[in-house]
């Protein structure tokens, strides 16, 4: 099911042993096209600018996603939604400067109803763990990331593909370095750190909401705060804040490339960029696994790794 990474690995000068002198490598694993632009995009653009190799792995094609931008809600788009979203992803990855690979699974859709209907046969979320993880293990062993990004156990929000993305990311992180697991998927490679996105945590939303109100602007975060007030406490705390305000504009351009999913007049752009840069100039993460020593809190996903790799 896996498809090749869109640039050959042999273009990179790498030491397979993971020794000093290597290029740093970051892999971000996402459920659908557009997720990479709404979660961690400025971080990726910042590291690309710093010379880090960045690969986005997209688990599904987003074929069952709704059209969320009224301007794109047209019959010809609906009839070719998978192809359209593939083209959107190509534009977004070019804007971000990242490489990208499709795992080749089919979008599960978001089941709605009480009780929710069964998930579609053959979709990503119903795949056995080893079947769903095998192409990601292959991608890890091929690309050899030092750091991986993914979602927490709840998927960031409870879309079945996001939850499955978490499961396969953890499985790949733990299995890719074991020569006895997933035979035939390449030489073992052990990533050193695994992070969860903490994009929509309450502290950040409160800060942006307060700034909008002080400026006399209508806040887009009122409903989000109500939902957070009713939600259980978060599973994880923020351990790592990556400064990337200079890349917020690039992030927004990548979001707009996903025209079927992002309304240019909608929520994503209601808070002015200068307010975001001043009030919350970071993207935030939870360090879920680490095989290197690091001091918390961090401001760099490669803290504890640079000293080993870049000497």
Backbone angles phi, psi at 66, to 5 degrees: -75, 160
Residue positions forming the annotated binding site for Zn(2+): 32, 35, 162
Backbone angles phi, psi at 87, to 5 degrees: -70, -40
CA-derived radius of gyration, the chain: 19
Q: Check if the beta carbon of residue 300 is closer than 8 Å to that of residue 306.
A: yes
Residue positions forming the annotated binding site: 32, 35, 162
Angular region, 7: left φ>0, alpha ψ -120 to 50, beta rest: beta
Strand arrangement of the beta sheet that strand 193-197 belongs to: 99-105, 53-60, 25-30, 147-150, 193-197, 282-290, 240-243
Contacts of 60 (CB under 8 A, 6+ apart): 31, 32, 103, 105, 106, 107, 108, 123, 124, 161
Q: How many CB atoms lie within 10 A of CB 51?
A: 9
The DSSP element (H or E) to which 203 belongs, if any, is: helix 202-214
């Amino acid at each position: 099911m896996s498809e090749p990474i869109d640039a050959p690995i042999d273009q990179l000068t790498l030491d397979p042993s993971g020794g000093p002198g290597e290029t740093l490598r970051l892999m971000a694993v996402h459920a659908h096209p557009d997720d990479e632009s709404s979660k961690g995009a400025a971080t990726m653009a910042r590291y690309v600018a710093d010379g880090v190799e960045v690969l986005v792995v997209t688990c599904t094609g987003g074929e069952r996603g709704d059209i969320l931008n009224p301007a794109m809600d047209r019959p010809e788009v609906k009839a070719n939604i998978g192809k359209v979203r593939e083209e959107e992803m190509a534009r977004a990855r070019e804007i971000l400067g990242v490489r990208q690979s499709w795992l080749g699974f089919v979008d599960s859709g978001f089941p709605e109803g009480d009780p929710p209907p069964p998930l579609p046969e053959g979709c990503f979320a119903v795949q056995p763990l080893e079947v769903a993880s095998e192409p990601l293990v292959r991608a890890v062993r091929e690309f050899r990331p030092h750091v991986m990004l993914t979602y927490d156990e709840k998927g960031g929000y409870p879309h079945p593909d996001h939850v499955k993305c978490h499961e396969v990311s953890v499985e790949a992180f733990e299995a890719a370095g074991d020569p006895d697991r997933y035979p035939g998927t390449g030489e073992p490679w052990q990533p050193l750190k695994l992070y969860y996105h903490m994009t929509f945590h309450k502290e950040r939303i409160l800060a942006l909401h307060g700034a909008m109100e002080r400026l006399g602007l209508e806040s887009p975060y009122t409903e989000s705060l109500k939902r957070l007030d009713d939600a259980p406490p978060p599973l994880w705390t923020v351990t790592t804040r990556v400064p990337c305000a200079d890349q917020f504009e690039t992030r927004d351009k990548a979001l707009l490339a996903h025209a079927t999913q992002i309304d240019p007049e909608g929520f994503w752009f209601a808070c002015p960029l200068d307010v975001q840069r001043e009030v919350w100039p970071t993207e935030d993460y939870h360090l879920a696994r680490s095989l290197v020593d690091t001091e918390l809190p961090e401001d760099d996903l490669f803290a504890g790794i640079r000293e080993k790799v870049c000497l």
